[in-house]
Chain A
Amino acid sequence: MTYFEIIEQDINGELSEEESILVKNRIKTQSQFADDYKLQLEIDEAISENEIMDLRENIQNIFNQKSTVKKGIIKELISFDSYLKPAIAAAITVVLVVASILLFNTSTNYTNDQLFTMNFESIPTISNTRSVSNNSNQLMNNAFQLYEQKQFNEAIVIFNKFESNKLSQFFLGISYIEINQYQNASIAFSEILNDNNNLFTEDSRWYLGLCYLKLDNTQKAKELFNKIVNSNSIYKSKAKKILKSL
């Protein structure tokens, strides 16, 4: 009988009492034998656990399905490629035009709070179907997915990891607004404005102005909206109307 067969037969209770005692002695004295005995027992236990195997298989299938879906609809806003920026600007513009038409047909005096509410609109993320190229991009994708699912606190954690990225900082600011943390939002937008040479300056100035309205810092809000009025910003007419109400 081979080494393997002795172990199998002992596990299955096929050995005589004397033979079984000999096996037990070998387990005590021969470590290799003891290890193999243990392995054969463990394998039997593992492969009789159908429930675990089924569960693992099911979880894997779910992951595969989700991963396929995720790859298909993935939002790669990440690499901050130039083609994304017009798309973001376009989304913001649509929001603004609609808001302008709806809200500024008449000139009335509003409170800062009301002005904020009338002017702030959530910004949708921009879809793009490109494959994920690295961890950093994947991480940013996650942030935008969280943002889209309105899990702003979770998205903020990730956006905060990309301090030097203006797109990330911009959506960080917007996310803070969404959870009513206007002070933090103003910090994020101010960071963007510290570096004048980026494509989010115009939008950040506008949203920073709105934050100041919400923080009841009318003076600073006025300064920003005046800057916007004196520029060629897409927010020019909206800023002008806000100034009239302040």
Chain B
Amino acid sequence: MVKFSVEEILLGIKDNNNLVLNYIYDKYYLNFESFVLGNNGSNKDAEDIFQDAIIIIFLKVKEEKLIITCNFNTYLFSVCNKLWLKYLEKNKNHIKTNSFINETNEFDIEDELILKNEKFKLYQKHFKNLSKTCQNVLQLTIKKMPLKKIATKTGFKNAKSVKRRKYKCKKRLIRNIKSDPAYRQINE
């Protein structure tokens, strides 16, 4: 297996590099999955938490120019650990049993960052479920592209129709997000 340094891994996450992401899975996932399964979690829990941990590391790399002085394994499991504890808080039927929990608390992963990831995940999931036209219109208007130009680019009759469609799409997106049980859970 090709080996990557911590810096290469962080850069790979930032660049969405397939080779690095595959490496992370091959090298670290199985251990984490075993930990979750051994603590009454499911494969789905392990997958969700592990994936969220990578996104959180991405957010940290992007926002703070994260520098890790330990090995990547320690840092990754520290993030996973924090997410696992959050998960346990929400799902009180699970029992904390494994020593892994106490071993990797040395890094502080901000609650705000975890919340931001949860929100992004939910909003983006529903955004991806919209039609391609809706997705295009919403993204182009957020980028402040003039409505007239969007109309030309996307085949709408005029700026007014673009605006009408934008409102319709965004209202639908908000409605879908608000009706998702995860939205209530996030805002509890």
Question: B37 to A58, Cβ gap below 8 A?
Answer: no
**B174 — which chain A residues lie within 8 A by C-beta?**
4, 39-40, 43
- Chain B residues within CB distance 8 Å of chain A: 13, 16, 18, 21-22, 25-26, 29-31, 33-34, 37-38, 40, 42-43, 47, 51, 54-55, 58-59, 62, 119-121, 123-124, 127-128, 135, 138-139, 141-143, 167, 170-171, 173-174, 177
Question: A4 to B167, Cβ gap below 8 A?
Answer: yes
**A194 — which chain B residues lie within 8 A by C-beta?**
none
Q: Check: A8 CB closer than 8 A to any chain B CB.
A: yes
Question: A59 to B51, Cβ gap below 8 A?
Answer: yes
Q: Which of B18, B34, B121 contacts A58 (CB 8 A)?
A: B18
Q: How far is the CB of B103 from chain A (nearest CB, A)?
A: 12
Q: Contacts A44-B142, A55-B13: A158 and B124 contacting too (C-beta < 8 A)? A: no
Q: Contacts A56-B121, A60-B51: A48 and B139 contacting too (C-beta < 8 A)? A: yes
**A53 — which chain B residues lie within 8 A by C-beta?**
124, 127-128
Give Cα A143–Cα B37 distance, bound, in whole angstroms: 12
Q: Which of B31, B40, B124, B167 contacts A52 (CB 8 A)?
A: B124
Q: Which of A44, A46, A56 contacts B119 (CB 8 A)?
A: A46
**A48 — which chain B residues lie within 8 A by C-beta?**
139, 142-143
Q: Which of B25, B29, B119 contacts A42 (CB 8 A)?
A: B119
Q: How far is the CB of A138 from chain B (nearest CB, A)?
A: 6
Question: B120 to A139, Cβ gap below 8 A?
Answer: no
**B40 — which chain A residues lie within 8 A by C-beta?**
135
Instruction: Tell me the total A-B contact number using a CB cutoff of 8 A.
Output: 106
Q: Check: A190 CB closer than 8 A to any chain B CB.
A: no
Question: B120 to A142, Cβ gap below 8 A?
Answer: no
Q: Check: A49 CB closer than 8 A to any chain B CB.
A: yes
Question: B55 to A52, Cβ gap below 8 A?
Answer: yes
**A146 — which chain B residues lie within 8 A by C-beta?**
30-31, 34
For residue A57, which residue of chain B has the nearest CB? B128
**A26 — which chain B residues lie within 8 A by C-beta?**
none
For residue B41, which residue of chain A has the nearest CB? A135
7 smallest CB-CB distances across A and B, nearest first, come from A46-B123, A139-B37, A46-B120, A47-B127, A142-B34, A55-B16, A135-B37
10 additional A-B pairs beyond A142-B33, A158-B34, beta carbons within 8 Å, are A5-B167, A42-B123, A44-B142, A46-B127, A50-B139, A55-B55, A58-B16, A135-B43, A138-B33, A138-B43
Question: B34 to A139, Cβ gap below 8 A?
Answer: yes
**A55 — which chain B residues lie within 8 A by C-beta?**
13, 16, 54-55, 58
